[in-house]
Structure 1
Amino acid sequence: MPERNDTGFSTIGRIDHARITPGTLIPMHPHQNDEILTYLRSGKVMHKDSEGHSDIISNQKLMLMKAGSEFYHGEKTLEEGGVLEGLQIFIRPEIEGLLPQVQFHQLSETYSINQWRKIAGKSSDYPLQIRSNTWILDMQLQKNDETFLPELPFKNTSFLFYVFKGEIQVTSNVQLSTGESALIENEYPTFIANETSEIVLFITQKNATYFDGGMYSGNLHK
């Protein structure tokens, strides 16, 4: 992400694409001032946290942890889920010291075929609520089909287009493969799937208010 002296961009702090073997234990550990979306595409993990939640997260059940002032959680990848693969997404909240909260969302389908699906955002029509001007959507784009950026009711938007899996042709000379992304501003290109692909779209605003001192989402070079 291109902002100078910063590992993030605006409200988007950090995106980790993880692959974890079954049976791995991640012991209880702290977070502060991070909004953390666990977005799995394969595998299952048992989650426990300091707010008293205990649940299984999978590619049909997502979780948003709002660390706020202080929060602890731990996970164990389950043998029956196979290899875990997904994104751990760290978003910057508007202000520090908010009350910790945890939200879960059961997806009706594992994939949203050729249509943007709302996952998390600062709007009442998003199932998981982020406490800053950030919106996250996903889609599975079928081979040879095309899509465009969604129309939005707000201005000054920046889009981070992330290919979780597959291959997408953005323009005649730009191609994105698994794990690659493009930051898009002031243009609306056509996206064509060279093969069936899984896409995650992050939307933020350059003039958004955010706290960049989070434990993992923060600006490490301040």
Structure 2
Amino acid sequence: MQVKRYRDDRGPTDAGWLKSMHTFSFGAYQDPDHMGFGPLRVINEDRVIPGAGFGTHPHSNMEIISYVLKGELAHKDSMGNGSTIKPGDIQLMSAGTGVAHSEFNGLKDQEVHFLQIWIMPDTNNTEPSYQQKSFDCLDIKNQFHNVISPNGQNGSLEIKQDARMFVGKFSEDGATEFEADSSRKYWVQIAQGIVNVNNEEGRAGDGFAISEETKIKIESQTESEIILFDLPL
């Protein structure tokens, strides 16, 4: 079974310095039909103008992922971390018992375009932690690469949930088949480009909720970038 979440049906935020599209309910955008997908709670596509950003604010008991598509995202938090996240980097912050953090665009001449992703942990009130890694493997096109997993398999970042995140960059006319488990569910988010997901077209911003399938077939029509989430039922 596959259900498409159209990009234009997402909830918008326009704060001037921030333009965001919310796949699931977030902030002032509340839609009881789109409260998440299993433990996947938030996918926000954010664009922040130069010199602006999110001031210091707290979170607890959430696995927070930042994935930059264009530009640079500067991060600071109450654990003492300070970093810059660029395309090819994956950031995972486990908020646990509580952490305060800020993100901003330190560039003077370019917006930062990124995805903010929240996944609910399977255990609450753990010690907060921070991970960030540059994945050179993402340069290998037309296949998915595991960047987040429950136990840090094969150099991936470790998440406190029975969930995995894969990233694939595809050339024009690139294709692959992802072997799925029919006892789990999957979310495919089109970050950039135009692709067919199980023979259904998707464009940047579209998402696909997939369950009870054993294969996910990807065929790209253009240069594309896709995030795939492997989730428990």
CA distance in 1, matches of 2:197, 2:80: 44
Identical pairs, percent: 24
The alignment of Structure 1 onto Structure 2 pairs a total of residues equal to: 203
In structure 2, the CA distance between the partners of 1:25 and 1:82, relative to structure 1 (3 Å rule), is same
Q: Which residue of 2 aligns with 1:179?
A: 205
Q: Which runs of 5+ in 2 are unaligned?
A: 6-23, 25-31
Shift in Å, 1:12 = 0.7
Q: Aligned-residue CA RMSD in angstroms?
A: 2.2
Shift in Å, 1:56 = 1.2
Which of 167, 172, 175 pairs up with 1:143? Answer: 172
In structure 2, the CA distance between the partners of 1:78 and 1:109, relative to structure 1 (3 Å rule), is farther
Q: Which residue of 2 aligns with 1:209?
A: none
1:78 aligns with 2:106: yes
Shift in Å, 1:37 = 0.6
1:203 aligns with 2:230: yes
Conserved? CA contact 1:46–1:78, under 8 Å: yes
**1:31-110 aligned within 5 A:** 31-79=59-107, 82-108=110-136
> What per-residue deviation string (whole Å, max 9, x for no partner) do you get for residues 162-216 of structure 1?
11011112345x211110011111222422111111100011010xxxxxxxxxx
Q: Which runs of 5+ in 1 are unaligned?
A: 207-222
Conserved? CA contact 1:45–1:75, under 8 Å: yes
Q: Which amino acid aligns with 1:180?
A: D
1:192 aligns with 2:225: no
1:21 aligns with 2:49: yes
In structure 2, the CA distance between the partners of 1:171 and 1:67, relative to structure 1 (3 Å rule), is closer
Q: After the TM superposition, which of the residue ranges 121-130 and 45-54 deviates more from structure 2?
A: 121-130
CA distance in 2, matches of 1:146, 1:10: 27
Which of 159, 167, 185 pairs up with 2:186? Answer: 159
SS of match in other structure, 1:183: strand
CA distance in 2, matches of 1:137, 1:46: 23
Conserved? CA contact 1:18–1:88, under 8 Å: yes
CA distance in 2, matches of 1:136, 1:85: 19
1:169 aligns with 2:181: no
> What TM-score comes out, normalization by structure 1 length?
0.83
CA distance in 1, matches of 2:130, 2:193: 31
> What per-residue deviation string (whole Å, max 9, x for no partner) do you get for residues 132-157 of structure 1?
111000111111121112456xx621
